[in-house]
Copies of this chain bind each other. A is one copy, B any other.
Amino acid sequence: MATRTDAPTRREQILKEAARLFAERGFHGVGVDEIGAAVGISGPGLYRHFPGKDAMLAELLIGISDSLLTGAKRRLAEAGEETGPGVVLDSFIEGHIDFALDDRPLITLHDRELDRLRDADRKMVRQLQRQYVELWVGVLREVYPALAEPAARSAVHSVFGLLNSTPHLGRPGSLPGRAVTASLLHRMARGAFAAVGEE
């Protein structure tokens, strides 16, 4: 099943560099010439791979939202019938942390540049995000049945804020090690949920 150990295609290079630049300086703050330069070609050469700058952002944001949602669905399915909802919640948290730690530019773009999208693309991203949130809300309310739905939704958004804070934790070197950071974030997320769920 050729699990893509291949060299990255030019398209993928472009997307990766564009994500980094957009995250660093904002969508409007980056010119196509810079994106081109980052992959070794110059400016208008990008238009052989994308119809425009907007399309790069759209593909990035849809890709992120989709892969978060897909990952969560898979984790929910893998849990099966016997495992408790607490295990699923932990799995959700773990997946989100992996994403936040491994794809920091994408996590940044995800809640920062959404409004720069064309209407149709933005609707698509919003819908994927909403589904993702609903999965979390469902599992959270299984773990804490006393939790009302609006409170659960707010709690989920807040924990996303907590988990997505990794870009602010200093440059990748200053972190106390990936595993340690992941564990810290995980415990804080569970603690935050517990504080609002057990009452």
Contact = CB atoms under 8 A, between A and B. Distances in A.
Contacts of A112: 112
Interface stretch (A21-29, A43-51, A53-61, A67-75): A21-29
A137 to B, nearest CB: 13
A13 interface: no
B191 A187 contact: no
Interface string A68-106: 000000000000000000000000000000000000000
Contacts of A115: 24-26
B176 A151 contact: yes
Contacts of A181: 154
B26 A184 contact: no
A159 interface: yes
Contact of A195 (B164, B165, B190): B190
A43 B190 CA distance: 49
A168 interface: yes
A150 B176 contact: yes
Contacts of A160: 165, 168
A155 B111 contact: no
Interface string A157-199: 1111111110011000001100001001101111111111000
A116 interface: yes
A188 B150 contact: no
11 contacts: A26-B26, A28-B29, A111-B168, A157-B168, A158-B169, A161-B161, A184-B196, A188-B192, A190-B195, A191-B194, A191-B195
Contacts of A116: 25-26, 29
B184 A151 contact: yes
A158 B159 CA distance: 9
